[in-house]
Structure 1
Amino acid sequence: MSISRHFEIVYLLLHKKNVTAAELAEYFEVSTRTIYRDVDTLSAAGIPIYSSRGKGGGISLVDGYVLNTSLLSEQEQEHILMSIQSLTAVQIPDLYGVLGKLSRLFKKETKSWIEVDFSPWGSEEGQRELFSRFREAITSNRIIVFRYYNSSGQQSERRIEPTELLFKNKAWYVTGHCLHSDAYRVFKISRMKDIVTTDQSFEPREPVPFSEAEESMGANLVSVTLRISAEGAYRVYDEFAESMITHNADGSFIIKGDFPAGNWLESYLLSFGKLLEEVGPESLRERLLSNIDEIKDKLNRPS
């Protein structure tokens, strides 16, 4: 991550005074060309950094330069440290090293106050590494390919130019331009399988407001009304927004909201089992009953 590297270059120069580009390139495992680009970026940002050639040359900071931490209030310094701690959820490499150096720079002791893991319980390590893989593909403009299962259970092969990671409604998504449909699309990460980052690069397109993606997703929604028994309170409060919930006098709940149409919706509602007391519209109720009959038939077949 270049921001992390830029900070660490300044940190090293504050302590070592003069370092060659080759030494920095070896330390960060990048090319010397990348290091010189970093120097240009830092210089443009107002950091008095320069490079000199010849014997004893290298990259240095102007004598007497001090990173003025007094420009940040005590509260601002605390906010920076807490923000970096919260970023551990997306597994940015060497983040703890940056956190330690900032802590020493601010002369503050950091306490581990947050642990965030967006992966499901029991996830394999490969699932937890997806953040790093997606971040690398997005920042380096690399096309990714994968198999995708939509809400109707249909499988397709996809190639996309990834734009960003999105966390919405308790799930992670990847947004980007889908080369299969030649349009901006949103893909739920849990439905993406056999994900591969290719060596094929792409030119970033004009950013698309997420509101447009929401409109396209909303085109396939169905208005649903549910009645869930009082014993289902834990599911109701876990899975539905407060604005969707009406609490009845007998302890049961009425849920009203828009849900994605397709096989996913029927399977989701069936997961409530005996907690589900009423379903509307009637067409959805009939499909659920048909699914239940099919399940009964399969379970009654001789082994």
Structure 2
Amino acid sequence: MKIDRILSIVMLLISKKQIQAKDLAELHEVSVRTIYRDIETINQAGIPIVTTQGAGGGISLVDDYRLEKKLFTDDDIELILTALESMTSAYSFKESEHVLKKIKSLIPPQSDESEKQHHVFIDLSSWGKDSQAEKKLQLIHTAASAHQFIQFTYRNAKGETLPRKVEPYTLVLKGRHWYLYAFCCVKHDFRLFK
């Protein structure tokens, strides 16, 4: 959906100094041409974006630009905060906490939202501290960010235990279980591992 993609692009530009159009296109599974149309739409909405050509170039917000609250209603901000807080409860990566702080900085101290009580709280963490799972998630996240391979022993649906070497792509939390979407070197294809 175009509006979701545009909001995602704006949030990425807030959290990163600069990003290339091809990376945005891959992330959102659209063409580079579509990304440039989205950038034009964002510019027309009053958010100043700069594109730099050549090596080391990319798309970024104008230096010192601050997203104004009027872009979002109080309900929009509450929904974004609830989603980010639940994501942060599921895993404690620094990136999610950093983005949460940035979103909270959009709320002026005198706004109604800063005093508003949240009526929905989603906590995706397990009871107690599972440091083993947290370490594994952090290792997978680090490997995915660095485009590194990882190896593990996997038990398939038939109960067979097999070694796997994969390049991690995405961590998925579904139904209180973590899954890894990765390129499997054994199957030479993308697979979802629980």
1:8-56 Cα shifts (integer Å, max 9, x gaps): 57xxxxxxxxxxxxxxxxxxxxxxxxx5xx2877xx85535699xxxxx
SS of match in other structure, 1:160: strand
Which residue of structure 1 aligns with residue 26 of structure 2?
none
* 1:7 to 2:8 alignment: no
User: Following the alignment from structure 1 to structure 2, what is the Cα–Cα distance between the partners of residues 71 and 7?
Assistant: 14
Which residue of structure 2 aligns with residue 90 of structure 1?
91
Q: If the length of structure 2 is used for normalisation, what is the TM-score? A: 0.55
The aligned length equals 148
Whichever structure has more strand as a proportion of its residues is 1
1:161-196 Cα shifts (integer Å, max 9, x gaps): 2332334455322223321233443322xxxxxxxx
CA contact (8 A) 1:143 1:159 kept: yes
* 1:179 to 2:185 alignment: yes
Mapping of residues 27-176 of structure 1, within 5 Å:
38=18, 45=39, 46=43, 47=48, 61=62, 67-88=67-88, 89-107=90-108, 108-109=113-114, 113-117=121-125, 119=126, 124-168=130-174, 170-176=176-182
SS of match in other structure, 2:153: strand
Deviates more, 1:97-106 or 1:137-146: 97-106
CA contact (8 A) 1:48 1:62 kept: no
Cα distance change on mapping 1:74 and 1:156 into 2, 3 Å: same
Mapping of residues 288-299 of structure 1, within 5 Å:
none
Cα distance change on mapping 1:94 and 1:141 into 2, 3 Å: closer
Tell me which amino acid in the other structure corresponds to 2:142.
E
User: Following the alignment from structure 1 to structure 2, what is the Cα–Cα distance between the partners of residues 49 and 182?
Assistant: 39
SS of match in other structure, 2:105: helix
CA contact (8 A) 1:91 1:131 kept: no
Q: Sequence identity, in percent?
A: 24
CA contact (8 A) 1:39 1:49 kept: no
Larger radius of gyration: 1
Deviation at 1:87, TM superposition (A): 1.4
Cα distance change on mapping 1:164 and 1:102 into 2, 3 Å: closer
Cα distance change on mapping 1:111 and 1:148 into 2, 3 Å: farther
Mapping of residues 236-251 of structure 1, within 5 Å:
none
Tell me which amino acid in the other structure corresponds to 2:84.
I
1:118-155 Cα shifts (integer Å, max 9, x gaps): x5x56641312333332333343322111223344432
Tell me which amino acid in the other structure corresponds to 2:101.
G
Mapping of residues 240-279 of structure 1, within 5 Å:
none
Cα distance change on mapping 1:149 and 1:3 into 2, 3 Å: farther
User: Following the alignment from structure 2 to structure 1, what is the Cα–Cα distance between the partners of residues 94 and 140?
Assistant: 13
SS of match in other structure, 1:105: coil
User: Following the alignment from structure 1 to structure 2, what is the Cα–Cα distance between the partners of residues 148 and 158?
Assistant: 7
Where structure 2 has 5 or more consecutive residues not aligned to the other structure, the ranges are 1-8, 22-35, 53-60
Tell me which amino acid in the other structure corresponds to 1:105.
L
Mapping of residues 205-220 of structure 1, within 5 Å:
none
User: Following the alignment from structure 2 to structure 1, what is the Cα–Cα distance between the partners of residues 15 and 181?
Assistant: 31
CA contact (8 A) 2:148 2:168 kept: yes
